[in-house]
Chains A and B, each alone.
Chain A
């Protein structure tokens, strides 16, 4: 039986690459791009499991993941613009003190 493990591992690698970018990059925009990469890995995983179990619920779940990704991108980019106007830089470390 074909269990589609190769898709799951590729999705996991995408997730790990996004994690590395999220932790190590300092540009706010690139940080959120890394979270989108993690979303891609998760979508690939969900669909691979849907194929493994031979039903469509994973694909429906993938659609809702896309909704969450769109919501996250809209709000995150709104906040990035707000933070950029406040400090004039996209450096995440400019906010490391977490005080306005």
Chain B
């Protein structure tokens, strides 16, 4: 990656960071329009740079551009939306777009598993919790972000570090040899369809990683027991005013405007 591309990416990330900063919910005057314009400009510039400098054009390129646009825009909405229900619905969009990107990377089984587990299971849990813990109206803490500038700055520094380091491994040929599980189906899986992808992963999970599969089962069981014991615990609602109670009340009883 040339230095020009690095600086282009840095400036695009700065633009996008400014957009996300303006989009984050805050008290006082809303900067939604400016933030949206900045974020859209950064997204378009990012796609142009990626299409010019990174992508090797083939038949999947338009799909990559489309689905990465959807994923990034929906992720911005998840982070910046003031209502948690809409945040989680936009998160479904992120999951579906990422699953499509996984299909483009020829990980068909993982894509379907992602949609089933995230959109089917985890998101339903989130929606249940949102319904259980519903607040009346739009509470203050949803409409004001905590330290939005520092947060976006941290995100920008992280992105700049990653983009700066990305040049180090670019162009290097991977030194690893093709393992057995992949060599059986050949390097080009797209011709053999999704069955072979699933079959290869299944064979790998049941032979090389069988211990890890068992351990994941144990982990899920432990998590289930933990969640049940958390949910069954009896909680005395704090009626006595304590130091923390004042803070809790501050979130609940603040005036809407």
Q: Which A residues are closer than 8 A to B by beta carbons?
A: 1-10, 12-21, 23-27, 29-30, 32-34, 36-37, 40, 43-44, 47-48, 50-57, 59-60, 62-64, 66-71, 73-75, 77-82, 84-97, 99-100
Asked whether B107 lies within 8 Å of A50 as measured between CB atoms, the reply is yes
Per-residue 0/1 for B236-257: is the Cβ within 8 Å of any A Cβ (1 yes, 0 no)?
A: 0110000111011011100000
Given A9-B50, A20-B154, A67-B220, verify A25-B118 contact (CB < 8 Å). no
Closest to A62 in B: B110
Asked whether B54 lies within 8 Å of A59 as measured between CB atoms, the reply is no
Chief secondary structure at chain B's binding surface: helix
Interface range, B side: 35 or more
6 additional contacts, CB 8 Å, given A23-B154, A87-B245, A89-B248?
Answer: A16-B156, A20-B79, A26-B144, A27-B84, A66-B113, A69-B117
Bound-complex Cα distance A34 to B106 (A): 26
Given A3-B170, A75-B227, A88-B237, verify A37-B244 contact (CB < 8 Å). no
Per-residue 0/1 for B57-78: is the Cβ within 8 Å of any A Cβ (1 yes, 0 no)?
A: 0000000100010011001101
Is residue B7 within 8 Å, beta carbon to beta carbon, of the partner chain?
no
Contacting residues, chain B, for A86 (C-beta < 8 A): 235, 237-238
Segment 132-186 of B: residues with Cβ below 8 Å from A: 132-133, 135, 139-142, 144-148, 150-152, 154-156, 158-159, 162-163, 166, 169-171, 173-174, 176, 178-179, 181-182
Q: Which B residues are closer than 8 A to A by beta carbons?
A: 1, 9, 16, 20, 24, 46, 50, 54-56, 64, 68, 71-72, 75-76, 78-80, 84, 87-88, 91, 94-95, 98, 101-102, 104-107, 109-110, 113-114, 117-118, 121-122, 125-126, 129-130, 132-133, 135, 139-142, 144-148, 150-152, 154-156, 158-159, 162-163, 166, 169-171, 173-174, 176, 178-179, 181-182, 187, 197, 200-201, 204-205, 209, 212, 216, 219-220, 222-224, 226-227, 230-231, 233, 235, 237-238, 243-245, 247-248, 250-252
Bound-complex Cα distance A43 to B115 (A): 13
Closest beta carbon of chain A to B111's beta carbon, Å: 9
Given A19-B154, A24-B151, A55-B179, verify A89-B139 contact (CB < 8 Å). yes
28 A-B pairs in the complex with CB atoms less than 8 angstroms apart: A9-B163, A10-B71, A10-B101, A13-B75, A16-B156, A16-B159, A19-B154, A20-B154, A23-B154, A26-B142, A47-B110, A51-B105, A53-B176, A55-B176, A56-B197, A56-B201, A62-B110, A63-B110, A68-B219, A75-B223, A78-B227, A82-B231, A87-B245, A88-B252, A89-B139, A92-B146, A93-B141, A94-B250
